[in-house]
Each structure stands twice: as C-alpha cells, then as structure tokens.
Structure 1
Amino acid sequence: MNTKLLFSIAMILSISIITLMCFLSPAHAKSSTSPNIVLIISDDAGYADFGFQGSKIIETPNIDAIAKSGVTFTRGYVSAPVCAPSRAGLLTGRYQQRFSFERNLTTKEDLNRGIAQSEKTMGDHFKALGYRTAAIGKWHLGNKDVYHPNNRGFDHFYGLLDGSRDYFKQVIKKPADKYKVLQRNGELLTETTGYVTDLLTNETIDFIERNKTQPFFAYVSYTAVHTPMHAQAHRLTAVPESVVDPKRRKLIAMTASLDDNIGRIIAKLDQLGLSENTLVVFLNDNGGALTNASINAPLRGYKGSTFEGAIRVPMVVKWPGHIKENSHYDQTVISLDLLPTLLAAANAKPIENTPTIDGKNLLPYLSGANASSPHESIFFKYHSGRAHIKGDWKWMTTKLKQADGSKKLFKFLFNLKNDPAEQNNLLNSHPEKVTELRLEWQDWFFDMPGIWTQL
C-alpha cells in the first residue's frame, strides 16, 4: 500500500473519530438541539395577584407576556401548601412524603435536615446532560453542606439557604442568621447591598451571559413576595391611592419589582438571541399567605391549608415553536410534572438510579397527542390536612380555628367543576364518593415513611 493511500485512510479515520466524539459529547450535542431552561418561582403570591390571573389593580406586564407567549395552566397545583416541601417536590418530581420532607424547616433540629441523599434534583439531571446549572435565590432545602445546592447538582449558587430575609440589608444577630445572608458558592457576601429582588436578577443575567454559548438550566427562586413586607419607596408612590391597606400597598410594590425583574431576564434572553431556544416556566410555590395581604380569590383558603387557595397556583410555560401561544390547559397538573416535562424537552430521561418520578411529561397533552388527563388523581398531606383530587371531585380534611382559639378537624367533599370556591360541602349527600376518595388516599399514603426518617 503506497504512502499517499495510507495518509488518506488515516485522515478519514481521524475525521470520523472526531465527529463521533463530538456526537457523543453531551455538552456538544445539547448545545444545538436542547433548549435552555429558566424556571422562575415566586414566593407566597396570591392566586389573583397577577394580570394574567385577572387582577385589575396589580399590573404584571412582563409575567403576562410569558403567559401570552405560552400556556397557562388553569388547574395547576403544587404538592404542598408551604414553601420548603413544595420546592422539594418540584425539584425531584416526586411527592416529598416519599423522602420524609412533609413540612417546613422551622426547628433547631431542622438545621440537620434537607432533601434526602437518595433523591435526584433537577440540577443533578441537567448537569448530567452537559448543561450548566444554577440555583439562584431562596434554597430552603437544607443548610448542612450535604444539602447545599453545589452538592445537589447545581454548578453555581447565589442566594440564601434559609426561607426568607430582609430585602434591603444583611442582618446577623445570632448564629442561625448566617443562613439568611446572601452567598455565592459557599462564600458569605456580608457586605453586599441592594434590594434583594434586584440582586437575584443581576446574578441570573450574569449567569446567562457567561453561559450563552452552551445549554444552561437556571432555577431562579425569588423571595418576593414573602414577608417581611419591604418595598422600595419609588414603587410605593406608584401604587394607586385607592389601595389604603399599608400591607397591601407594599405587596403591590413588591410585585411590581418582581415583574420588572422577570422582564429583565426575558430582555437579556432576547438581546442574546436565545429566546427562541429557551423554555421559560413561571409558577408560585404555594397559595398566598395571610401575612402578606395577598388575595387568592375566587379560591378558598390561604397558605398552610389544603383548600384550593393554598395548593392551586399561577403556572405558565412558554417554549417558542413547541407550545401554542396564548393557550390554556384546563386539566389537572401538578408541579411534579415539570421535571419529566423539562427532561422530555431536552430529549432526555432521568439519570440512572433515580427513584420513580410521580410527575408526568406534559408535552403530549399540550400538543393534543394525548387527549386524556395527565393524572387520574393527585394527593396532599400537610400536618392534619389531607386531600385527594380525582377529576372534578375533592375530598379533604383540615383543622379550622374556632372562636375560642381552639382548632377543630373538619371533613369536606367538593365538586371543583361546579364549586371551585369550595363553598358547598357535599360530604353527606355523596357518602360513596367520600369512601372512594378516602380509601384511595389511604392506599397512596400507606407506604410513605415517617416525617424526617430519611436524611
């Protein structure tokens, strides 16, 4: 064989090997075919406190624009009525009861708790796909190093480990306050100044800018509009004078900041030419709270219960060219669905050794390829509250405060199609439906571990 022929064969083999390596490289393959993902979550916002949800007082043009560019879920639920367990379910795609994370981290003992090590987070999944991953904002899923975002799949973390903080300044009065201080990848930023909603957006924009040439996943978890009620002075002056409740005025001003900052993220995607290949999600972590003057109308109840006002939330997704613009989806979905949906958008499956995911890939349902409902049933448990939604029916129990300050357990059966405000208790008129839903709830809960038995 002559030298020229050998050289030609060697060149062909080299080119083939290089091409094959590029094809097999997750980072390279995903850069041209998989969408960037920006998942934005607000905190304790009211169901009715956004323009696309019908508010006539609170203007949210930037969040409304996301809804107009994609799909609004009219029956979108989260898996818990309070912050931490809701986020645990969201990031794992699994009912958080499966790994003992049923309630908020509120006690001294909770400093040693977080998402169980057996669980895989969105960060884990997308990092394995070659995405650059970031968690920005409120974490509230464990303070110990083993639960730190950098150890749970996120390349980059900027935010606070705790569940809330002052919006204007870093306050350290006791040792546990360090978890409220902004940090970047473990380094406390005690000298940082500025309004926290702005700071979280600045970091998100910087992350997008630095990773614009490769696929990225950004989990942007704002503290707004959770207490404390801290609003910027210039935004308060813009609140209509017709709103007289001081706390409500602050909520409106804080929501205006939230909306403007989300608009800044979308504008950066537009500026960089990334919008067409970026999937954007916006949702709230649970229903509006009694402590921040939010409004959940026409839904009943607030954060912490199992009424609709605590578990049904604003939820929108846009993905240009894949999800129909200005559309509405009226079947029951739950935040657990977001993980498998986002993975499907990236043409990927859960990584190896992932426990069974409870959520469903919503893309076939949104496209019309599957005309059925994603879920026959969804389930809830929080303290004494229990709920099972099956189709239009909802069975639930919850403790309600009495005139003397005590709490009494009540049981309910509602038809959500006819009575979304949950005003007509059908418990006595449909005993067979009560039994059906109660027993199915018990079957769901039967194998769940106890609270905090898994770490």
Structure 2
Amino acid sequence: MINKLLSIFLVAISTLGCKAQKQDKPNIIIIMADDMGYGDLSTYGSTLINTPNLDKMAAEGIKFTDFHANGPVCSPTRAAILTGKYQQRVGIDGVVTAKHHRDKGLETSEQTFAEAIKDAGYVTGMFGKWHVGYKTEFNPINQGFDEYIGYVSGNVDYHSHIDQEGFEDWWDGDKIKNEEGYSTDLITKHSVDFIKRHKDEPFLLYIPHEAPHGPFQGRKSAAEREIGWKNGSKQKNKMTEEELNNIYKEMVEVMDEGVGEVMKTLKELKLDKNTLIFFCSDNGASRKVGSNGGLRGYKSTLWEGGHRVSAMAWYPGRIQPNQINNETILTMDLFPTILDFAGGKQPENLDGVNLKSNLLEGKALEKRDLFWGYTGRKAIRQGDYKLILRNKDAEPLLFNLKKDLSESNNIANKHPELVKSMLKELETWSDDVYSNSNNKQ
C-alpha cells in the first residue's frame, strides 16, 4: 500500500514538474497584417470593418496606442522584427522587389528570432509572407524556421499565387509547391495544423499574412495573374471605389476569421493560458485604400500614418485584460521580448528593448530616442517630439505629438536648440546603422 501511494505521489510530482516546465516555456505566436492602417480595426475605431476576434484579443489583453513599424514599407519592418535591429543595420532599408533585387536578402549571418529561440528548445514554424530575399539561400528554412509554407515576394495573386513578375511563388520549405486555395485561408490552415502537431512541445509560430495588401481579391474573386504575367501591379478587372472598399473590408475580415481560428484552436487544446500572441501591422495603409485613423500620411511616408500601427498582446492569466498601453514601441522590440519569455540567451547587439516587465507589471520603459529612415527621408522621436527631414536639403519639421498627433503644426522655429540637438542625434544614428551595413546608401 505504501509503495502504491509512493508511486502515485511520484507520478503526481512528475506531472506537476512537466506542467511547470511547460509554463516556463510559453508558446509564442506573432501575427502580422500587411498594409493595414491604424484605423482599420473596429477596436481602433473603424465602423466599416468588423473584426470581433482581434477586438476580443485586445479586450483580453493589451491594446497599444503608440506602437510603430520600424519601416513605412514591408521589407524593412520584416527585417527589423526578425533581427531585433534597425533594418538599415542589416542592409534591408528598402523594398526587396521581385524585379530589381533578386540577389538581395537578409544575410544568413544575421541571427533571426527563430534561430535564437530554437536554442531555447523551441520548434519553429512560419506560414505566409517572407519578403526579405528571393534566392533559396535566404529562404526561411535557412533562417531558423523548421517549417515554412508561403511566398517570398512582396505579394502574390491570392488564388493563383503568381508574383508581380509572373513567377509562381508558393513554397513548401525551399521548394516551389503550389496548392489550391485563397492565400489568407491557406496561411490560417497551415498555422492551425502546426499548432495541433506541436501542442506537446514549446513552439514559436510566425504568421505574416498577405492581407490586406494588394492585389485586392476576395475569396470569390477571379485569379488575376498567370505564369508570365507582365502587367506590373495593375489589376485587369477595374473596380469602383465602392467595390474596392468592399473587397478590402472582406480581406481584413477574412484575416480576422483566421486569428479567431488560431485562438479557438489554442483554447480547444488547452494551450491558451500558456501562449503569448503579438499582433501588429507591418506599416500603415496605402494611399489607395484603408484607414490610418486620422493620422497624416500613408504607407511609404514617415508621417505617423506611414508607421504608427495597430498592435496588441494577449497572454491569458499573465497579461491582465482591458489594458491600454501608451508606451512608444517598435517592432524590433519583439525579438528580445519573446526571447526573455522563452528563457533564451539575449544577444548583446540588439537595438530593440525587452518589453516583458512592461507587459506583465506595467513597468515604464526607459527613455530612448527612436529613428526611421526611408529613401533619403529620416525621422527621430524624442518623447513627445518628432522631427522629420524630407530630404537632406529640406528644412526640418518638428511636431509635438502629444498636442498635435495629426502633425499639422510645425513648431521648428519655436525650438531651434531642440531641432539642432535632434538633427545631431539623427546624424549620429545614421552613421552608426550604415557603418557595418551591407547596403550603405
């Protein structure tokens, strides 16, 4: 009898130990929308687009009001989130295009968050958009991801999966393997399958959606592209403004459905209380469609509308619900943050900062200057102040974002000393990030 009780006790202790170990290794999911504006979610004020699942994520966790993409376009932000560094430092300060930059990509010598977290005992998967290198050597499989299905270009036809230059662009690992289906639904399907297959081990799942980036296609839209297609980014079937807005609405809402499927799967498998999810967009909405919520500018600009994005964090039981976070955060901050949650070793050369104490305890982040740069334009943020240089010969523009979030009142003439010091910091940063870059420009 004593031996039987002892055996039961040892089994119980072992089970508790496994559960404790599991709690020490939370699953990590990063979901990224593509070209979605600050005002495109209903939780951020949209009355046109219904996003109940992302609204639920925000209500059950943290909604960020001052979260920024590292870049105002796709590739730079993706390079920054992957490496935890300013994208200029790793040579991806502009769009890696299908036509002109097929030899350019994120060097494999750079450590990605996938590689870092694998060292902490995680299995890693990615499903969706890569856009930091076309050549096989730059493929996600060679950058720390155990599994990858998706496309490597800036966008593909949602149905035929043909890229902007007429090439088939749907990969399984480092091999082209097209499959039938709407790309948003395929990304969700493979993500859910990954969770189910790896439910008994700590995993990192990166879900960079195509939606709502163009071409603007819904589930029932006809395919626009075929192999050899050479019409640039123009769609054959012209849409009215109303039709375009309706398709865009559907694209965001289908992505939201996918987020709901991921959350539902976690709850069904009893993984929800041991999973941290970050959601954000890679830059603001384009000039053509979408809402940046009253912010000035749009994708590709350094106005707030180009890089201030909707974002949230969800971790039931660890992150308290219904929080509004006003800290100024960049996407590169996610690398050191998820690595801390995973118990991994922090690299010493990251530009991003660890948000863990802020997320769990509300501890304020230390003050720091933040920078943006794109096609000769640069910007610096110091507290509430933001300075923009539209080109090297232009007069600097200064705004107090606390009083003037729309960036409509240039106060540079009122603060000459502040402008001078911010320009100096901007020059120092620029010299630093390009000093060891593979893309000195």
Q: RMSD of the TM alignment (CA)?
A: 2.4
In 2, distance between residues paired with 1:348 and 1:299? 37
Kept in 1: contact 2:157–2:163 (CA 8 A): no
Displacement of 1:117: 2.8
SS at match of 2:191: helix
Cα 1:203/1:410, change in 2 over 3 Å: farther
**Is the CA contact (8 Å cut-off) linking 1:132 and 1:215 kept in structure 2?**
yes
The aligned residue for residue 432 of structure 1 is: 417
Offset of residue 28 of structure 1: 11
The reply on whether 1:329 has 2:317 as its aligned counterpart is: no
**Long gaps (5+) in structure 2:** 1-9, 222-239
Which one of the candidate residues 261, 265, 268 is aligned to 2:265?
A: 268
User: Shift of residue 106 of structure 1?
Assistant: 2.0
| 1:187 is aligned to 2:175 | yes
Distance 1:227 1:302 in 2: 15
Deviations 1:404-442 (A, max 9, x none): xxxx94631000000011110111121111111111111
2:4 corresponding residue in structure 1? none
Would you say 1:398 and 2:398 are equivalent positions? no
Match of 2:276 in 1: 279
Indicate whether 1:446 and 2:436 are aligned: no
Output the CA distance in 2 between the equivalents of 1:217 and 1:388: 32
The 3 A distance-change label for structure 1 pair 340 and 388 is same
Counterpart of 1:72 in 2: which secondary structure?
strand
Equivalent residue, structure 2, for 1:200: 187
Is the Cα–Cα contact under 8 Å of residues 333 and 374 in structure 1 kept in the other structure?
A: no
CA contact (8 A) 1:84 1:103 kept: yes
Alpha-carbon distance between aligned partners in 1 of 2:56 and 2:269, rounded to the nearest angstrom: 18
The CA deviation at 1:335 is 0.9
Q: What is the rounded CA distance, in whole Å, between the counterparts of 1:444 and 1:417 in structure 2?
A: 24
- Distance in 2 (CA, whole Å) between partners of 1:139 and 1:453 is 19
Once residues 258 and 363 of structure 2 are traced to their aligned partners in structure 1, the CA distance between those partners, rounded to angstroms, is 36
Secondary structure, aligned partner of 1:228? coil
Partner secondary structure for residue 298 of structure 1: coil
**Cα deviation, residue 369, structure 1:** 6.2
Q: Distance in 2 between matches of 1:197 and 1:375?
A: 38
Question: Which residue does the alignment assign to 2:160?
Answer: 169
- The residue aligned with 2:302 is 306
Q: Indicate if the aligned counterparts of 2:76 and 2:93 stay in contact, CA closer than 8 A.
A: yes
Instruction: Give the whole-Å Cα distance in 2 for the aligned partners of 1:439 and 1:95.
Output: 18
Report the Cα offset of residue 172 of structure 1: 7.5
Q: Residue 441 and residue 66 in structure 1: after superposition, are their counterparts in 2 closer, same or farther (change >3 A)? A: same
Counterpart CA distance in 1 for 2:251 and 2:182 is 10
Any conservation in 2 of the 1:365–1:374 contact (CA below 8 Å)?
no
Which residue of structure 1 aligns with residue 407 of structure 2?
Answer: 422
Tell me the CA shift for residue 119 of structure 1.
1.2
User: Is the aligned partner of 1:363 residue 2:356?
Assistant: yes
CA distance in structure 2 between the aligned counterparts of 1:143 and 1:172, rounded to whole angstroms: 11
Which amino acid letter does the alignment assign opposite residue 381 of structure 2?
I
Bigger radius of gyration, 1 or 2? 1
SS at match of 1:448: helix
Residue identity in the other structure for 2:167: D
Residue-pair matches, total: 407
Matched residue, 2:336: 340
Q: Report the counterpart of residue 386 of structure 1 in structure 2.
A: 378
Give, in whole Å, the separation in 1 of the partners of 2:207 and 2:356: 22
The alignment's TM-score, normalised by the length of structure 2, stands at 0.87
1:337 counterpart SS class: helix
Using the aligned pairs only, state the percent identity.
Answer: 34
SS of the residue corresponding to residue 38 of structure 2 reads: coil
- Equivalent residue for 2:114? 123
Where structure 1 has 5 or more consecutive residues not aligned to the other structure, the ranges are 1-14, 235-242, 400-407
**Deviation of 1:109 (Å):** 4.9
Matches within 5 A, 1:18-417: 31-106=22-97, 108-171=99-162, 177-178=167-168, 181-190=169-178, 192-233=179-220, 245-291=242-288, 293-350=289-346, 354=347, 356-368=349-361, 370-371=363-364, 373-398=365-390, 409=394, 411-417=396-402
Instruction: Please give the secondary structure, in 1, of the residue aligned with 2:378.
Output: strand
Going from structure 1 to structure 2, the CA distance change for 1:97 and 1:172 (only over 3 Å counts) comes to closer
**Deviations 1:342-361, CA, capped at 9 Å, x for gaps:** 111122223xxx46111111
Calculate the TM-score normalised by the size of structure 1. 0.84
